Amino acid sequence: MSSPVHVPPIGEAREREILKDATTYTYRQTEHGPVHAHFFFPPDFSPDDCRPVVVFFSGGFWDTPMRTQFVPHCNHFAARGAVAVAAELSGGAVKKARVALGSVAPVPLYAAKTSAWLAGRKLSAPVIEEACELVKTEVSPITDTRSEAAYRREMCGVLLGRALNSLR
């Protein structure tokens, strides 16, 4: 007689299983329903403790929402004594944006104009398209053996567009 094979849960059952050790709070109500923050506390945590806190925001992958994306990171930090939070995002207006770009300057570049322009705007296709064009004006990449300047500039817009679309 063979023993039963353990099949890992999928879909919503998988998310419930992954979040079973979290304390979940609703931090915002939207027209699409509640938006949650999932807290992971260290084993010896007390509400009177003064601990470091790490917060991960996820709007999902490029094309698929996945609210459990940062749970392994949260478990890592909680096991080391920090409070870790996996916060969900949902559609709506951008409250505050911080766009940073790599490989287009000697150090990571903060795209201040694009960040300021996005604040207060609802993420729609035309808004995202405009942000993608604006971010390309903020970079002055170089051509080197790894890539050409024009390609790097174009990819800033493409990757920003993917990131913003994942938050819709």
CB 155 within 8 A of CB 132: no
pLDDT for 62: 46
Domain edge (last residue) among 35, 59, 88: 88
pLDDT value for 135: 93
Mean pLDDT for 34-41 is 84
- Where does a domain end: 65, 88, 111? 88
Residues 64 and 16 in one domain: yes
Q: What domain range includes position 80?
A: 11-88
Question: In this model, does residue 115 exceed pLDDT 80?
Answer: yes
For residue 111, being part of any structural domain is answered with: yes
Determine the pLDDT at residue 79. 82
State which of 61, 88, 115 marks the end of a domain. 88
Digit-coded pLDDT (tens) for 134-158: 999 999 998 999 889 999 999 999 9
Give the pLDDT confidence score for residue 98 in this predicted structure. Answer: 77
Domain identity same for 65 and 113 = no
pTM for the model stands at: 0.50
| Average pLDDT value over all residues in the chain | 80
Please answer whether residues 23 and 53 qualify as being in contact, where contact means their C-beta atoms are separated by less than 8 angstroms: no
Q: Is residue 94 part of a domain?
A: no
Residues 76, 137: one domain? no
Tally of structural domains, the chain: 2
